[in-house]
Amino acid sequence: MDEVAFLLRPRSDGWVIDGTVGMGGHAEAVLDASGPGVSVLGLDVDPEALARARARLARFGDRVRLVRASFRDVERVAGAEGIVEARAVLLDLGVSSYQIDESGRGFSFQRDEPLDMRLDPAAPRTAADLLNTLPETELARVIFEYGDERHARRIARAIVHRRALRTTADLVAAVRSAIPSAARQRGRSGAVHMATRTFQAVRMAVNDEPGALGEALPRAARLLGGGDRMGVIAFHSGEDRIVKQTFRRLAGAEFAAVEPSPLTPGDDEVRANPRARSAKLRVLERLP
């Protein structure tokens, strides 16, 4: 949080675009740290998250505008709001604690809930739809590519055998049946639950998160003025790879990465917020 507020501090008055406003924590930090001439345009696909952000940010009055939209459409949304240049753009990828713990939409393997996993409740395809219809080879590809899961093929086979899956417990059972017992033991003693990677991969596929990110980054970069910055927080290697490669492609005469390697949270932050442990922040600047 501190690094984001510092690295993305607006160099002058104008609009900061938070493409993943979530519960409004980062937006609040930016607004608190800046003067009345700095405003925030916040986007999110989840109407419940937006309602929470709206309540949290109410005290800032007309310094805040919130729009239900995907960050994939950031240029169009900014244009419709009359914003031609952003002093900073933030994307804090993935899901929020509220979505994992309270939404009831099946983001956590620690609860038995319907296999939904849509961040946007109006999106056409749920996790159950995807798990019950994708061909086995395609399922294996998704779990391998988005989850970095080396048992992807076995897990895909187990899912197909157990169709139709309805709840998160069904998916956990499929993963458990597919992972060799030695790996299950390692998962139990280590920090990562054996179903973590599969759940992450399915969530990313349901919401086309890599597709949205790949399209959003160049569009968001075009909104920056000279000397303005975009920060992206990614929580796993697949996402971070997209950010790294896109920033590298953009770097040159017009843009430059602010730090050569990503920033990661310190020990104190991880102790206070264990979910931050795998976060990586990359920052791109449009050259003056």
Residue 200 sits in the site that holds ligand SAM (CB under 6 A): no
Residue 57 sits in the site that holds ligand SAM (CB under 6 A): no
Residue 80 CB, nearest distance to ligand SAM (Å)? Answer: 15
Residue 116 sits in the site that holds ligand SAM (CB under 6 A): no
- Scan for tokens 């899961």, then name that residue: 149
123 to 142, contacts with ligand SAM by CB under 6 A? Answer: none
Secondary structure (3-state) at 89: strand
In the bound state with ligand SAM, the residue whose beta carbon lies nearer, of 95 and 250, is 95
Residue 240 sits in the site that holds ligand SAM (CB under 6 A): no
69 to 98, contacts with ligand SAM by CB under 6 A? Answer: 70-72, 92, 94-96
In the bound state with ligand SAM, the residue whose beta carbon lies nearer, of 156 and 279, is 279
C-alpha distances out from residue 188 to 41, 73, 117, 168, 182, Å: 42, 40, 24, 18, 10
Query: Total residues contacting ligand SAM (rule CB under 6 A)?
Result: 22
DSSP letter for 113, please. -
Name every residue whose Cβ is closer than 8 Å to that of residue 166 and which is 6 or more positions away in sequence: 114, 115, 128
Q: Which of 46, 116, 240, 285 binds ligand SAM (CB under 6 A)?
A: 46
Q: Which of 8, 10, 14, 20 binds ligand SAM (CB under 6 A)?
A: 20
Residue 198 sits in the site that holds ligand SAM (CB under 6 A): no
Q: Checking DSSP bridges between strand 224-234 and strand 86-92, what pairing results, if any?
A: parallel
Residue 22 sits in the site that holds ligand SAM (CB under 6 A): yes
Gap between the Cα atoms of 201 and 218, Å rounded = 24
- Scan for tokens 């493409």, then name that residue: 19
For residue 281, list its beta bridge partners: 233, 263
Q: Which of 10, 14, 24, 262 binds ligand SAM (CB under 6 A)?
A: 24
Residue 97 CB, nearest distance to ligand SAM (Å)? Answer: 8
Residue 94 CB, nearest distance to ligand SAM (Å)? Answer: 5
Residue 281 CB, nearest distance to ligand SAM (Å)? Answer: 12
The edge-to-edge listing of strands for the beta sheet with 280-286 is 64-68, 38-44, 14-18, 86-92, 224-234, 280-286, 255-257
Buried b (16+ CB within 10 A) or exposed e, 269-279: beeeeeebebb
Residues that bind ligand SAM (CB under 6 A): 19-20, 22-26, 43-46, 49, 70-72, 92, 94-96, 119, 207, 212
